[in-house]
Amino acid sequence: MAVGVFDSGLGGLTVLDALLRRLPDVPFVYFGDNAHTPYGTRDADDIFRLTCAGVERLWAEGCDLVVLACNTASAVALKRMQETWVPADKRVLGVFVPLIEALTERRWGDNSAPREVAVRHVALFATPATVASRAFQRELAFRAIGVDVEAQPCGGLVDAIEQGDMILAEALVHSHVEALLRRMPRPEAAVLGCTHYPLMEEAFRAALGPAVKVYSQPELVAESLADYLGRRPGMLGPGRQGSFLTTGDPQPVGNRATLFLRRRIAFDRA
């Protein structure tokens, strides 16, 4: 009954943590493609190829259902994967839709016409590839009208987090927030559209100020997966055991994961 969780590196651990809290009886197999991180500066074909390879590895672990806990892969590769590659007995889900449903106050399966919503000015922080894909704006336009989105590609931030350089990461958060606020001085909401960014959530909140509501994905994704599994329990795969896999060097990857989640995490080579 295992479920796979995929990310380009360590960011998906923020989602995994929320999944483990919400679904404590489900074994999760985590796959971090640390050898190829960051994805956010790669082209679409590369992101598609790497994401498919990671998902196949998770299928081999008995995870018929894989959550792409990576906005870059969800934004750039997921649609193509679902349309051309995922077999009928497997599922790959992304992290964008739960976030947009929360922002537009919709429930799953609400396919009514786009309508006006409470928020008008939304700041999006994401990787360069996610911003360039415009997937966030596309998904939002299916559900809401009249929402102005200002997107800030946060170059360098994933790299700094992956390397554990939190001082650089904090400085980058401040300069990216400042750059966005120069273009949109008063957003009502800010979306942390990369699963690495919840690790810097305090820095984002401090730089944005108390008037901005910050949407962070982990809890939203966990709630959405719990709802999905309630409706589709058959998608729990045959795998029985949770584990952590990486394409990088398991020792340093495990050390950084342990620091981030504040509990001992040991990775195996994927």
Residue nearest ligand DGL, Cβ-based: 40
Q: Which of 72, 104, 133, 247: binder of ligand DGL (CB under 6 A)?
A: 72
254 is a site residue for ligand DGL (CB under 6 A):
no
70 has catalytic annotation = yes
Binding mask 33-62 for ligand DGL (x = CB under 6 A): ----xxxx----------------------
Contact call for residues 39 and 47 (beta carbons, < 8 A): yes
Binding segment toward ligand DGL, per CB under 6 A, in 21-29, 64-72, 205-213, 262-270? 64-72
63 has catalytic annotation = no
| Helices and strands: H and E segment counts in the chain | 12, 12
Catalytic site residue from 52, 63, 70, 154: 70
Quickly count: other Cβ atoms within 10 Å of residue 58's Cβ.
27
Q: Which is nearer to ligand DGL, 70 or 220 (CB)?
A: 70
User: Which of 109, 90, 36 is CA-nearest to residue 235?
Assistant: 90
Q: Which is nearer to ligand DGL, 114 or 155 (CB)?
A: 155
| Region of residue 31 (left: phi > 0; alpha: psi -120 to 50; beta: else) | beta
The residue assigned the tokens 């398991």 is 250
32 is a site residue for ligand DGL (CB under 6 A):
no
Q: Which is nearer to ligand DGL, 136 or 228 (CB)?
A: 136
User: Which of 201, 109, 106, 86 is CA-nearest to residue 147?
Assistant: 106
